[in-house]
Amino acid sequence: MALVTTKEMFKRAYKEHFSVGAFNVDNLETLQAVIEAAAETKSPVIIAITENVIKYFGIAYLRHAIEAAVETYGVEVALHLDHGKSIEICKYCVDNGFTSVMIDASAYDFEENIRITKEVVEYAHAKGVVVESELGAIAGIEEDIDVNDKYGRFTHPDDVVEFVTRTGIDSLAIAIGTAHGAYKFKPGQKPQLRFDILDEIEEKLPGFPLVLHGSSSVPQSRLALVNQYGGQMKEAIGIPESMLTEASHHSVCKINVGTDLRVTFTGEIRKFFFTQPQEYEIRKYTTPARTAVKEMVKEKMEKVFESAGHAAK
C-alpha cells in the first residue's frame, strides 16, 4: 500500500461513524509507535507533522521514514502538514510527498483566510493533494500557535458554506471548545464541547468532513507518572473521551492528538532515568516510551475514535 490522501478514509469515517486519529509525531519512536498501533488495530491513520518537526527530522529523513513505515506494515496512512502557517510551507510539503496539508490562515479575517486557503487548494489539488483549513480559532498554545482567547472563538455556522464553497477545501477544522496543549482549561473548569454548534455546522454541510484539533484527553495516570518522577507539570484537564466518541458519531472525521503522546513518552523516560540512574543505553529508555505511546494510541483507536478494523481492505 502506498501513502494515501484522506479522501477515502474520510468517506468511510463519515458513513461508518468513526474518526481517523491524526497523531502528532515528534521523532522516529513516536512515528513507529503510531504506525504499529494502526497496523495492530487495522485502523486508517494520519501522521501529523508540524513545520518544527520537519526542521527537526529533515525532509528527506522524514519522507523515507514514512515510506519505511508503509513498506513495513502495509498500513493505510496519510502524511499531513499540521498548521501550515504560510502558502510556502504548504507548497513545500505538497512538493515533498505529503498527501494532505493544512493551511491555517485563521488568524486573518474571513476574506484573507479565503484568499490564502484558495491559493493552497489550487496548488495542492493540481498535484493530487488534499487541503484542510480552519475557521474560528482554537484556543491554547501549541508550539508557535498562541491564541489568546481562553475558550476559543467558535466557528460561526453561518460562515461555513461560503468558506467551503469559495475555497474548495476537502475538510474543515472547527472551533467548538477544544484547545491545544496540556493546559486546555482552568483548574476545576469543566470541559464542554459545543455540540449545538457542531449540529448546526453539520446541517449546513451535509456529508462534509469536519476536523477537531486540540483533542488530547491528558490521561491523569500519564500526568501522574511525569510528576512522580521529578516532573513539574501543573494540573491539566483534557477533552473527555466520551465527548470525542460522540463527535466521531457526528461529522467529525479527523481528531488531532499530540499532547497525549508527549506526556506519555516523557513520563516513561522520566521513570526510567529516575529508577535506573546507572543506565546509559539509549534503546533501554526509548523502548518502553515507544511501547507506552503505542498502547495509548491503540486504546484511542479501539475505544475512543472507533477506527479499529476500518482500514482499507
Instruction: Select the residue interacting with ligand 13P from 99, 117, 167, 216 (CB under 6 A).
Output: 216
CB closer to ligand 13P out of 213 and 290: 213
> How many whole angstroms separate alpha carbon 149 and alpha carbon 210?
22
Contact indicator for 133, 172 with CB cutoff of 8 Å: yes
Question: Considering only residues 12, 80, 180, 271, which one is a binding residue for ligand 13P as defined by CB under 6 A?
Answer: 180
Taking the least distance from each CB to ligand 13P, the nearer of 253 and 272 is 253
Instruction: Using alpha carbons, select from 214, 198, 297, 201 the residue that is nearest to residue 248.
Output: 198
Residue (202 or 260) nearer to ligand 13P, CB: 260
DSSP string across 159-219:
HHHHHHHHH--SEEEE-SS-EESS--S-TTPPP---HHHHHHHHHHSTT--EEE-S-----
From 26, 82, 159, 196, active-site residue: 82
Return d(Cα 62, Cα 49) in angstroms, integer: 9
Q: How many whole angstroms separate alpha carbon 25 and alpha carbon 80?
A: 11
Decide whether 83 or 272 has the Cβ nearer to ligand 13P: 83
| CB count in 10 Å sphere of residue 101 | 26
Residue among 99, 113, 167, 256 that touches ligand 13P (CB under 6 A): 256
Interhelix angle for 195-204 vs 241-249, to 10°? Answer: 20
Task: Choose one: 36-44, 214-222, 264-272, 303-311; the region binding ligand 13P (CB under 6 A).
Answer: 214-222
Query: Per CB under 6 A, which of residues 281..310 are in contact with ligand 13P?
Result: none
With CB under 6 A as the contact rule, which of the stretches 55-63, 67-75, 108-116, 210-218 interacts with ligand 13P?
A: 210-218
**3-class state of residue 20 by DSSP:** strand
CB of 3 to ligand 13P, least distance (A): 20
Please state, in angstroms and rounded to a whole number, the distance separating the CA atoms of residues 131 and 94.
10
In 249-276, which positions are buried (b, 16+ CB within 10 angstroms) versus exposed (e)?
ebbbbbbbbbbbbbbbbbbbbbbbeeee
Nearer to ligand 13P, 66 or 297 (CB): 297
Could you say which residues in the range 67-96 bind ligand 13P, by CB under 6 A?
A: 82-83
171 neighbors 211 (Cβ within 8 angstroms): yes
Q: How far is the CB of 40 from ligand 13P (least distance, A)?
A: 22
126: amino acid identity, one letter: A
Q: How far is the CB of 184 from ligand 13P (least distance, A)?
A: 7
CB of 116 or CB of 173, closer to ligand 13P:
173
| Nearer to ligand 13P among residue 264 and residue 272 (C-beta) | 264
Residue with cell 503522546: 261
Kindly state whether residue 219 participates in binding ligand 13P, applying the rule CB under 6 A.
Answer: no
Is 36 a binding residue for ligand 13P by CB under 6 A? The answer is no
Burial of 295 (0-12, 13-18, 19+ CB in 10 A): middle
Query: Using CB under 6 A, which of the segments 91-99, 127-135, 225-233, 255-263 binds ligand 13P?
Result: 255-263
Does 104 help bind ligand 13P (rule: CB under 6 A)?
no
Cβ atoms of 154 and 176 within 8 Å: the answer is yes
Active site residue 82: yes
Number of amino acids touching ligand 13P (CB under 6 A): 15
**254 makes contact with ligand 13P (CB under 6 A):** no
Tell me: does residue 134 bind ligand 13P (CB under 6 A). Answer: no
Residues designated catalytic: 82
| Binding region for ligand 13P (CB under 6 A) | 24, 82-83, 142, 180-181, 213-216, 256-260
